[in-house]
Amino acid sequence: MKKIYLNVAVAYIAIIQAFSQSTVPNSTVYQTRKLKVDEINLVSSYYLQAGNHSAVTGGIGTEKLSDFANMLDISFIKAGKAARVHTINLALGVDSYSSASSDQIDPYTISSASKSDLRIYPSVNWLVKDYRQHRSLGAAISLSHEYDYQSLGGNINYSKFSADNNREFNLKLQAFLDTWKVIYPIELRTIRKSDGNQEPNPAASGNKPRDFYNASFSLTQVINTRLQLSFLLDLAYQVGQLGTLYQRVYFLNKTAVVEHLPESRFKIPIGLRANYFLGDRWMLRSFYRYYSDDWGIQAHTLEIETPYKITPFISVSPFYRFYNQRGANYFAGYEQHQAAEKFYTSDYDLSGFSSHFEGLNLRFTSAQGLLGWHKLNTIELRYGHYNRSDGLNANIITTAIKLK
């Protein structure tokens, strides 16, 4: 179920980005060549979470969850005339998870349909880079499907870079058109009539839309041989069914209802990234982001990673991320909401909290190949531990393999 992935996504996306390495072809010599495989990446991760504030049961109860995620992407490259390089990327992700809290949507069954699920998400990306005009243009389309959630996404992106590659401006426009299957907690799927009999709740069936639109801007500047800075700005807007209908909220009078949130949300994250080369072996990567939205959430994120080359082929990178959040206006814990409130949630992802995420990345790479296979370019192993001030904690182990 989609809500489950809130905690998984933060760690998993960061790991994917950490593994990615850009390859810039020689822009001074261009030879027309047919489309060929450039590289293949395989990423697998296992995530295990525990906590005691399940939103499914109104802010109490187990948050135990496991997720096994796998991603395969294949990049094809073609150098054409007029100094243009085309790249096509085909990706397929498959996640399999099990959630104890989701099973409480209907605790009277042996196992509800949402306790375990399979998420499949393919995507196609196209990019053309014009070295004579110093610009690039790309587009992508993606799909995502699981038991109660389907998503169709697309984006277009444009980049303009200087002749010496020391400055680059990026613009990306994204849209995701999503559909939820309506699932209510078992006891709220019927309503009591005036004569005392029960009848089906008409609100507890059907489908609900949720759409997401985002404009991302970034400017990257090489300051000198050691320092590179990037300025980041996102303008994001969500509309539709933003509350999760299988999550309970309990009022002071112990009445249970489904979570109810506004049908729109505007978000503004602003960030600064700085990479500094301390020498031939050390590098410092740092990132700061300020986040604000019209639900009342404000947050600060600080990340630091320090890659160190043990040898030309082996590097180790300790990393740390600190996050602090002021909660949404609509959050309150178990049996703390009043029935007169217009909007209400007991999802601790929307509460005020601070969190820490730390770990280590080990990377082996060689242009001549690894383990006797010349096409095996890179192997990475990454471990991270996450803990939150409300008691939520998680561990994630990831492996990544690149064939070049």
Give the chain's domain count.
1
Percent of the chain at pLDDT exceeding 90: 78
CATH number at 10 reads 2.40.160.40
Task: Answer whether residue 295 is part of any domain.
Answer: yes
Distances (CA, A) of 7 to 43, 51, 253, 401: 18, 12, 31, 24
What pLDDT, on the 0 to 100 scale, is given for residue 18?
44
Task: Answer whether residue 379 is part of any domain.
Answer: yes
What average pLDDT does the segment 253-258 reach?
95
* Structure confidence at residue 111 as a pLDDT band (50, 70, 90): very low
The pair of structure tokens assigned to 236 is 């994001």
What average pLDDT does the segment 373-396 reach?
95
- CA angle, corner 227, sides to 226 and 230, nearest 5? 155
What pLDDT, on the 0 to 100 scale, is given for residue 32?
58
pLDDT at 112 over 60: no
pLDDT at 16 over 80: no
25 vs 265, more confident: 265
Per-residue pLDDT tens for 75-106? 999 987 778 999 999 999 999 988 877 778 88
Handedness of CA 129, 133, 134, 139 (dihedral sign): negative
- Give the domain extent around 154: 2-23+34-403
Name the one residue in this structure whose structure tokens are 């990393």.
319
What average pLDDT does the segment 206-227 reach?
96
Which of 58-62, 142-146, 190-194, 222-226 has the lowest average pLDDT? Answer: 190-194
Which of 33-37, 38-42, 202-206, 393-397 has the lowest average pLDDT? Answer: 33-37
Per-residue pLDDT tens for 165-208? 999 999 999 999 999 999 999 999 999 887 778 899 999 999 99
What pLDDT, on the 0 to 100 scale, is given for residue 7?
41
Task: Answer whether residue 28 is part of any domain.
Answer: no
Per-residue pLDDT tens for 299-315? 999 999 999 999 989 99
What pLDDT, on the 0 to 100 scale, is given for residue 297?
98
Compute φ and ψ for 328, nearest 5 degrees: -70, 155
Which of 77-91, 130-144, 241-255, 323-337 has the lowest average pLDDT? Answer: 77-91
What average pLDDT does the segment 42-58 reach?
96
Task: Answer whether residue 80 is part of any domain.
Answer: yes
d(CA 122, CA 143) in angstroms, rounded, equals 6
pLDDT at 113 over 80: no
Which of 60-64, 170-174, 313-317, 369-373 has the lowest average pLDDT? Answer: 369-373
Q: Which three-class secondary structure state does DSSP give residue 16? A: helix
What pLDDT, on the 0 to 100 scale, is given for residue 368?
84
What pLDDT, on the 0 to 100 scale, is given for residue 351?
98
Task: Give which of 293, 299, 305, 297 is closest to 357, Cα–Cα.
Answer: 305
Task: Answer whether residue 29 is part of any domain.
Answer: no
